[in-house]
Amino acid sequence: MNDQASGLRRIMKKNQIKVIAVTGGKGGVGKTNVSLNMAMAMADQGKRVLVLDADLGLANVDVILGLRVEKNLSHVLSGECDIDDILIEGPRGIFIAPSTSGTRSMVELSPQEHVGLIRAFSNMRTEFDVLIVDTAAGISNMVLSFARASQDVVVVVCDEPTSITDAYALIKLLSREHGVFRFKIVANMVRTMREGQVLFNKLTKVTDRFLDVALELAAIVPYDENLRKAVRKQQLLIEAFPRSPGSLAFKALGTRAMNWPIPAQAGGHLEFFIEQLVAQPQPGKEPANE
């Protein structure tokens, strides 16, 4: 495994790239809308942004944006094409790496396929400033792998009891079993700023008591009636309604995210993301005892 990582290090000669995983303990919290609107906010400020649709079995980024997909990650894994060949340019210059929907085999990747996905990134020719990984919901091995491999982990929560409990479970697993101790929290679809702060306080109250982690309130995104209208138009909120309350919150999140420091120990390169994925325990294998 170390030989593979060192080989990838020699291959990778990329510019610095910020890698952000956007995740959540449960579905329906608005994770994909957070990913895409944050991506567009960054693109509007001149950044080259790639969104990886990492919900490998229930992908929907292309549907949300109304994009036509001819090839996706499954074609990369089968060797039919390179990852550069599947990239689709979306609105305002953001790029999408699409996955598949309704394909069980993509959810249950073999160790060889997992390594194939990693190698696809190592050979990517197109350069970006930011890679946003829109993970699946829940605590599957793939979600944990992508979150652990990223430099920043954004956990999206909303004001539902199951959202808080599932977010806590995700944070607990990442901290205790994968060495992730810093998390950015987005309180999404809240009625007031105070409600967002209370939501964050609920989560920190339980993590402070039971876990050794640091949470940062990255954004409070208000419930916005215009979001439903934008979805029907297959547009992003900040594209369709740039002055709406939700859009302003997403723009502020994008600006803040661009200023998150790249950890010095990570080297700040895409090779860090790849090597961290390489370091994951393979499916069906227990991690070595430390």
> Residue 86 sits in a domain of what CATH number?
3.40.50.300
- State the average pLDDT over residues 154-170: 96
Q: How many domains does the chain have?
A: 1
On whether residue 285 sits in a domain, the answer given is no
Given a cut of 70, whether residue 6 has pLDDT beyond it is no
Beta partners for residue 134, in sequence order: 22, 53
Given a cut of 80, whether residue 158 has pLDDT beyond it is yes
On whether residue 250 sits in a domain, the answer given is yes
CB atoms within 10 A of CB 215: 18
The pLDDT value recorded for residue 1 is 45
Q: What does the mean pLDDT of the chain come to? A: 85
On whether residue 39 sits in a domain, the answer given is yes
Tokens representing 287 are 């991690």
Q: What is the DSSP letter of 69?
A: -
Task: State the residue range of the domain holding 213.
Answer: 2-278
In percent, the amount of the chain with pLDDT more than 90 equals: 60
On whether residue 41 sits in a domain, the answer given is yes
On whether residue 121 sits in a domain, the answer given is yes
The pLDDT value recorded for residue 240 is 97
Q: What is the DSSP letter of 19?
A: E
- State the average pLDDT over residues 43-65: 91
- State the average pLDDT over residues 187-201: 97
What are the two backbone dihedrals, phi and then psi, of residue 259, each rounded to the nearest 5 degrees? -95, 0
On whether residue 288 sits in a domain, the answer given is no
Reduced to 3 states (helix: H, G, I; strand: E, B; else coil), residue 24 is coil
On whether residue 287 sits in a domain, the answer given is no
Closest C-alpha among 4, 8, 278 to residue 122: 8
Centroid of chain to Cα 136 = 9
